[in-house]
Amino acid sequence: QVRLAESGGGSVQTGGSLRLSCVAAGYDSSSGFMAWFRQGSGKSREGVALISRSELAIYADSVKGRFTISKDNAKNTLYLSMNYLKPEDTAMYYCAAERAGGGWSQWGINFGYWGQGTQVTVSS
């Protein structure tokens, strides 16, 4: 039984920073790909950042140079450090983990474990 739980969201001014965390219970964070997704109001879900078992990271063009994905396998915890935040970053942010036969594919990876999300709001 796998449960992902995000935290760290909140409200911040343009240019501010936030660090999101995702604790994975019942899942070894070293066993597969993990990622952050987001969905803004009225927008479709988009992949923000991906991290592989070997620590390879891929970022959406919109966040490159501003966001950093990382993980601590000893704690089964995934992180997303966000800097120079913009109003366009306002969205619900979701943590996801690879699962064979998962229902959502991104970067050629199937994701089937999801957290409930944490809200990030960036004001002008």
The amino acid that residue 53 corresponds to is: R
Supply the mean pLDDT for the chain.
Answer: 96
Least confidently predicted of 5-9, 59-63, 101-105: 101-105
Helix (H, G, I), strand (E, B), or coil: what is residue 45? coil
- Whether residue 115 is predicted with pLDDT greater than 90 in this model: the reply is yes
pLDDT of residue 122: 98
64-94 pLDDT per residue, tens: 999 999 999 999 999 999 999 999 999 999 9
Q: Residues with Cβ < 8 Å from 99, sequence gap 6 or more?
A: 2, 32, 110, 111, 112, 113
Question: Predicted confidence band at 29 (pLDDT cuts at 50, 70, 90)?
Answer: confident
E-strand ranges in 26-90 read: 34-39, 46-51, 57-59, 67-72, 77-82
CA distance 87 to 16: 11
